[in-house]
Chain A
């Protein structure tokens, strides 16, 4: 019940295309859903996050879509650029847990 399942494991997108990464969770107590971006040799860094009181959050080219009834959320990267090539992790938590549960990660490659 504490798991967050992420797919796909790897993704190749052409420059200018839309990258979509999906996550699913089971614990209905989760109330915070962040996405982290990790470049090779670096630690992950917070990219964007959403709470379940909204269905979508957009920051620049990055959008989180949230479906509470399906217990799913996804990251959309519009106009994908080679500089977006990285590993992306979804995660989930709730205030009482004080810790994040991470998905398995998606290695995204944007071809020029």
Chain B
């Protein structure tokens, strides 16, 4: 049972490039979340999904897009990467919404 799997673990982007952060979970959870973690700033919610085909914005959605075509996968798309998007990105899932989130191990992204 792998839980929540994120790829890649590390990535360096140049300003203006685009990329997709992958997230998949094998727990049949309906709820999935994308957070970014910046030093001293805690975890900020980017986007979330309550089920396949349903997504909604979090606190800091600008510069990002998501899709949820299956229960298992919740990719995060960065368009036109900017230095302000340098961060550690975490995907999470849960069975009952906000209770007991299971996090992946994160993707460390640097935009230079």
Residues of A at under 8 Å CB distance from B?
A: 6, 9, 32, 34, 36, 41-46, 49, 89, 93, 95, 97-105
Contact = CB atoms under 8 A, between A and B. Distances in A.
Nearest to B35: A102
Contact of B42 (A32, A42, A45, A103): A103
Most chain A beta-carbon neighbours within 10 Å: one of B43, B45, B99, B106: B43
Given A89-B42, A98-B98, A99-B98, A42 B105 contact: yes
B101 interface: yes
A101 B42 CA distance: 9
Interface string B12-38: 000000000000000000010101000
Interface of B: 4, 31, 33, 35, 40-45, 48, 50, 58, 90, 92, 97-101, 103-106
A94 to B, nearest CB: 8
B90 A32 contact: no
A99 B58 CA distance: 9
Q: Which 7 A-B pairs have the closest CB atoms?
A: A43-B103, A93-B98, A102-B43, A104-B42, A98-B97, A102-B42, A100-B98
B97 A46 contact: no
A85 B92 CA distance: 23
A86 B34 CA distance: 22
Contacts of A45: 103
